[in-house]
């Protein structure tokens, strides 16, 4: 009789042979650095884009309960009202994570009578949420409005469209001006996952829709407190009826413990900080990095703080990442299934923490890596 865990060991062996095995490494993050195995590295894999300086918070007893039972601490309503104002929406609800916000919200407002139009490069949480909703799913080519409209015209009934604002692995932006126009024309519900655009783009960091001047045309915002804001949690903003529906039907909201109040207080501190100063400094560094990449002729499709350097083969991407690490730079190799097979890449994240001198050093190392790995 075969060992009952043999099937799992075989599956792991298959993952390893394809250069797709992932392992955990103990780390400690401090400002622009990450410490691993006694080595101090420049951290180019952080989503703490604004780099707001942390302040002490008062820790209180954790609620240890669902918000619908005894976990609805007063800190939630305070923070939610602030976030509603930030997004110019009627109401907001906070989820424990951005992943849970996507899963719970999309599966609550879509059903078997719905058709969801989803960009092919949308985040895994959106993909899973669409499946859980039971709706018919139509995937359109990345940022291709012609393909999207063709699919919309062939569809009747309740229609929803969901897209990221800034795409998490490619760093390019959704064509929100065109998407909102199509959505309005065909009376669709528009859902925007702005996890990577929120607090980074637009006036006062109001996000991708503000940048495109289509705020009033987005029906539901899903975002993160863990990225630009550098705290923890996810949130959803929109019409009162949509938010109330989520409170009553979203399983990832109902059947989980609430975030600790101290986390909400930390988010509130950062929300009310001088974010615009950090945001302007961040964009100076983003623009500098892009300019220097062009000068060393290292191509990327990104126009944001997320900069992918597409390598291709998974094994080569791992070796590229190791080369950076040997030179004091931490930038992870991103492989299938996070990206398509054969499109492995180094995903670089620019944060306000980084100095211009550190950016310049990193460009020099990337130029050496480009020659070493024969990148074009």
Model confidence at 59, in pLDDT bands (50, 70, 90)?
confident
Backbone angles phi, psi at 4, to 5 degrees: -65, -20
Beta pairing class for 306-312 and 220-224: unpaired
Q: Is the pLDDT of residue 238 over 80?
A: yes
Give the pLDDT confidence score for residue 63 in this predicted structure: 77
137-149 average pLDDT score: 97
Give the pLDDT confidence score for residue 198 in this predicted structure: 97
Q: Is the pLDDT of residue 357 over 80?
A: yes
213 three-class SS: coil
DSSP structure class, residue 38: T
Mean pLDDT score across all residues of the chain? 94
Beta pairing class for 220-224 and 234-238: antiparallel
360-370 average pLDDT score: 96
> Which long-range contacts (C-beta less than 8 Å, at least 24 apart) are formed by 371-376?
372/323, 373/311, 373/316, 373/319, 373/320, 373/323, 375/298, 375/309, 375/311, 376/297, 376/299
Give the pLDDT confidence score for residue 2 in this predicted structure: 62
Architecture in CATH for domain 21-46+275-372: Alpha-Beta Complex (3.90)
What does the pLDDT look like over 177-224, one tens digit per residue? 999 999 999 999 999 999 999 999 999 999 999 999 999 999 999 999
Least trusted range by pLDDT, from 5-19, 147-161, 281-295, 306-320: 5-19
308 three-class SS: strand
Q: Is the pLDDT of residue 48 over 90?
A: yes
Q: What are the extents of the domains in the chain? A: 21-46+275-372, 74-271
What does the pLDDT look like over 319-352, one tens digit per residue? 999 999 999 999 999 999 999 999 999 999 999 9
3-state SS record for 46-67 = CCCCCCCCCCCCCCCCCCCCCC
Whole-number percent of the chain with pLDDT over 90: 89
What does the pLDDT look like over 257-293, one tens digit per residue? 999 999 999 999 999 999 999 999 999 999 999 999 9
Structural class in CATH, domain 74-271: alpha beta
Give the pLDDT confidence score for residue 254 in this predicted structure: 96
């Amino acid at each position: 009789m075969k060992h009952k865990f043999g099937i799992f060991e075989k599956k792991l062996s298959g993952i390893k042979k394809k250069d797709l095995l992932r392992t955990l490494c103990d780390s400690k993050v401090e400002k622009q650095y990450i410490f691993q195995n006694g080595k101090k590295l420049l951290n180019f894999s952080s989503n703490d884009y604004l780099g707001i300086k942390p302040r002490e918070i008062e820790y209180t007893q954790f609620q240890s309960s669902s918000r619908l039972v005894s976990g609805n601490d007063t800190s939630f309503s305070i923070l939610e009202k602030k976030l509603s104002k930030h997004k110019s929406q009627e109401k907001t609800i906070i989820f424990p994570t951005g992943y849970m916000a996507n899963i719970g919200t999309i599966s609550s407002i879509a059903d078997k009578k719905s058709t969801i139009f989803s960009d092919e490069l949308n985040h895994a949480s959106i993909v899973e949420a669409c499946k859980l909703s039971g709706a018919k799913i139509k995937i359109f080519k990345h940022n291709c409005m012609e393909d999207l409209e063709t699919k919309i015209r062939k569809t009747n009934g309740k229609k929803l469209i969901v897209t990221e604002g800034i795409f998490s692995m490619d760093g390019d932006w959704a064509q929100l001006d065109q998407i909102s126009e199509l959505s309005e024309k065909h009376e669709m519900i528009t859902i925007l996952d702005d996890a990577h655009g929120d607090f980074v783009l637009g006036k006062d960091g109001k996000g991708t829709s503000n940048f495109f001047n289509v705020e009033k045309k987005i029906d539901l915002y899903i975002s993160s407190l863990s990225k630009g804001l550098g705290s923890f949690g996810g949130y959803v903003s929109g019409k009162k009826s949509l938010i109330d529906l989520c409170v009553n039907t979203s399983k990832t909201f109902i059947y989980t413990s609430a975030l600790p109040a101290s986390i909400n207080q930390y988010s509130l501190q950062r929300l009310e900080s001088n974010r615009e100063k950090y945001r302007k400094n961040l964009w100076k560094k983003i623009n500098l990095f892009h300019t220097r990449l062009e000068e060393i002729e290292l191509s990327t499709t990104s126009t944001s703080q997320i900069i992918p350097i597409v390598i291709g083969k998974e094994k080569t991407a791992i070796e590229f990442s190791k080369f950076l690490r040997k030179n004091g730079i931490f930038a992870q190799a991103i492989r299938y299934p996070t990206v398509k097979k054969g499109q492995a890449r180094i995903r670089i994240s620019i944060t306000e923490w980084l100095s211009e001198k550190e950016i310049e050093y990193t460009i020099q190392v990337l130029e050496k890596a480009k020659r070493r790995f024969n990148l074009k």
